[in-house]
Chain A
Amino acid sequence: MNPDPAIVSSGLTRSFGDLVAVDGVSLAIPRGRIYGFLGPNGSGKSTTIRMLCGLLKPTAGSVRVLGFDMPRDAERLRERIGYMTQTFSFYRDLTVAENLEFIADIYGLGRRHKRTAIEASLDRYSLRGHLRQRAGTLSGGEKQRLALAGVTLHDPELLLLDEPTSAVDPQSRRDFWDSLFDLAARGATILVSTHFMDEAERCHRLAILHRGRLVAEGTPAELADGIDATVLDVATDEPHEARSALAAAGYVRAVAQLGSRLHVMVDPDLPDPAGRLTRELRSASLAAEVRRTSANLEDVFVAATGFRRSGEDQ
């Protein structure tokens, strides 16, 4: 496999008027892997993806996709990528079969190639039963399978998926991710944006975007290990009160409630953090069991985005 990264960007920036949607993002996305963009709405995920497939021109910075300079070589790149838009962009008034045939023709697949590609994807994405159904009447999960089938018909080296699972039930999401792993196993590079933590966790590598900036990057494990905080698990009968009591403490960076438990992130320099939290709670006459735990991706996300925000406030 080609050892060069699929995508290399440096200082990639895009502004719309005064709004800087993407701010100096530098990335190297390896081939044959699933790479995630994690971030809330408005964090610049879609804008970045659109710059990568040549739909938007960067305001500053440069990006090479599969060795092509964007947006200059956008036309030459198009045959080698597949882009799944955030909203369903196939023709609702055409049937599943008609949509697939149309897109195969647009990608210039020959007659025989077209037939085998469509047959294979009908089975792979369980669309055979919906062949004569208009795309507009498909369920969310079916639409998404049709979209994935459509953008992979021409066997792209690189798939760009913009929040593909935002309108889909959990079972469909699982199936969808299985399909992505299949595609990656066959050598495709996949870039997927999401705001779901469980999806981000499944990616080989991950970039966390916040307000247009790249705030963290690495494998999920690296990100969890590298978190700039000590994470503690607090079990208590009065989580709500405990939460208020802890949030007031200066060394506590973030508190998240998970049912009757709390995930608390504190200053990494704090000595004996568990003892400190226990005393803090006891002084508020709250009984609790405190123990150290490893960070999950949500903690990483909060650490990468939330701390920065409180830092800006100071």
Chain B
Amino acid sequence: MKSLRRILAIVRKEARQLSRDRLTFGMIVGIPLLQIVLFGYAINTDVRDLRGGIADQARTQLSRRLVADIQASQVIEFLQVADGPGELEAMMRRGEIAVAVVIPHDFERRLLDRDRPAAQLLVDGSDPSIAGVARRLREMPFVAREAAGREDHGLFELRNYYNPERRSAVQIVPALIGVILNLTMVLFTAVAIVRERERGNLELLITTPIRNTELMAGKILPYILIGLAQVSIILITGMVLFDVPVFGSLWDLYAASLVFIAATLGLGLVISTFAQTQFQAMQLTVFTFLPSILLSGFMFPFDGMPPPAQWVGNLLPLTHFVVMVRGIVLRGATLSDLTPSLQALGIFFAVTMSAAILRFRKRLD
């Protein structure tokens, strides 16, 4: 009874302080909105309108058709016209173009020859996203080759292939829930305790009968609610701005988020036992945030990473949440399909929470 009263006292106090701290309150709403707009619009892996050059040496009806078709896909915008590959290479070196297409004199004959590529694609390999596009574009001459026989059907199929509209927003927004929660939740809890230390409140608090577990529980409860509110903000913004559908159940999504929020709050509490100042707490938060972004599979495919990076990635809560949230939102998976990730987050929460409680000393030395 006393224990519950103490936990509620901490919760009430945190809520009051939060409602009076405009900056933090602004961050609760502002960070998700800002990040979803930034990631949703700016970080767009559907590369479009690459600056391109063309050297059409064949000058046949079919070659012009190919050029028009590439243009129509909006992947490449042909800004420069050249006579041959040498001229295109020079343009690329100067950075005027990122991609170039060379259609040789014998284009139509090559099309019929299945052993030889029909046209050449020059790509600026120094930019990874352009190189990725090139890999997809490489498929194109083959389709056009089919088109030599069944023209209309082939080109139609091609357009289909290159029309992944808003595809990356759909992939990014669900995982973005995890990224944003990871940043804000860890930061808020870490700062919540360190701020008390900095302002001298902790010296008062640790001479009272409050127990470590009560203090920690009281500290994380308000932030769990805030985290769930952020999930809603991101989901609604994602639906409104980017038409992100939710195929799975919302209950599953919120349940998965709840477990993930708990795990990140645990991490924040551990950080708070190390940091002496709010500045240190922020630095440590960023220190854990960067690997989370890079190694969780949010930005780069998890399966493509070398094993050591995967090991580290598996220790991070975000990795498991990205798996879950993509499964629930995009594939309509249920929680029972995702038990390994759920278990991993549960373990992470238990470990960090115990570490925080054990490490937090009601002493000053």
Contact = CB atoms under 8 A, between A and B. Distances in A.
A102 B12 contact: yes
A92 B201 CA distance: 9
B5 A105 contact: yes
A106 B9 contact: yes
Given A50-B364, A94-B13, A106 B199 contact: no
B363 A89 contact: no
Given A93-B21, A102-B13, A54 B208 contact: no
A90 B204 contact: yes
Contacts of B207: 53-55, 78, 81, 83
Interface string A102-143: 110111100000000000000000000000000000000000
Nearest to B201: A89
A92 to B, nearest CB: 7
A131 B139 CA distance: 75
A73 interface: no
A89 B208 CA distance: 13
Contacts of B13: 91, 94, 98, 102
Contacts of A107: 208-209
Contact of B6 (A92, A94, A108): A108
Nearest to B17: A93
Given A54-B363, A107-B209, A108-B209, A98 B16 contact: yes
Given A91-B17, A108-B2, A55 B203 contact: yes
A94 B210 CA distance: 19
Interface string B190-220: 0000000001111111111110000000000
Interface string A78-99: 1101010101111111100010
Contact of B203 (A79, A89, A91, A150): A89
B9 A102 contact: yes
Contact of A74 (B21, B362, B365): B362
A173 to B, nearest CB: 21
B94 interface: no
A54 to B, nearest CB: 7
A91 B210 contact: no
Nearest to A89: B204
Best-buried of B12, B16, B203, B210 by chain A (most CB within 10 Å) = B203
B16 A78 contact: no
Interface in B108-141: none
Best-buried of B205, B208, B362 by chain A (most CB within 10 Å) = B208
Overall SS of chain B's interface: helix
Contacts of A54: 207, 362-363
A88 to B, nearest CB: 7
A195 interface: no
Nearest to B211: A75
A91 B2 CA distance: 21
Contact of A106 (B16, B202, B205, B365): B205
A105 B201 contact: no
Contacts of A102: 9, 12-13
Contact of A87 (B21, B200, B209, B364): B200
Interface in A17-52: 50
Interface string B1-19: 0100110111011001100
B20 interface: yes
A167 to B, nearest CB: 13
A107 B2 CA distance: 8
A211 interface: no
Contacts of A258: none
A204 interface: no
Nearest to B6: A106
Given A91-B17, A98-B16, A102-B13, A57 B5 contact: no
Given A56-B363, A108-B2, A94 B16 contact: yes
A75 B207 CA distance: 9
Best-buried of A53, A85, A101 by chain B (most CB within 10 Å) = A85
Interface in A219-250: none
A212 interface: no
A15 to B, nearest CB: 11
A71 interface: yes
Contact of B8 (A91, A92, A105): A105
Contacts of A93: 16-17, 20-21
Interface in A122-179: 150
A50 to B, nearest CB: 6
A54 B3 CA distance: 21
Given A79-B209, A106-B9, A57 B21 contact: no
A91 B17 CA distance: 9
A87 B200 CA distance: 7
A133 to B, nearest CB: 13
Given A54-B207, A83-B207, A91-B17, A105 B200 contact: no
Interface string B337-365: 00000000000000000000000001111
Contact of A91 (B201, B206, B209): B201
Contacts of B205: 106
Given A85-B203, A89-B201, A94-B16, A56 B209 contact: no
Interface string B265-300: 000000000000000000000000000000000000
A90 B201 contact: yes
A20 to B, nearest CB: 15
A113 to B, nearest CB: 12
Contacts of A81: 207
A106 B364 contact: no
30 contacts: A54-B207, A54-B362, A55-B206, A55-B207, A55-B362, A55-B364, A55-B365, A56-B365, A57-B365, A71-B363, A75-B209, A75-B362, A79-B209, A81-B207, A85-B203, A85-B204, A87-B200, A88-B200, A89-B200, A89-B202, A89-B204, A92-B199, A93-B16, A94-B16, A105-B6, A105-B9, A106-B205, A106-B208, A106-B210, A108-B5
Top-4 shortest CB links A-B: A105-B9, A108-B2, A89-B204, A83-B207
Given A89-B199, A102-B12, 15 more contacts: A81-B207, A83-B207, A87-B200, A88-B200, A89-B202, A90-B201, A91-B17, A91-B201, A93-B16, A93-B20, A93-B21, A103-B208, A106-B209, A107-B209, A150-B204
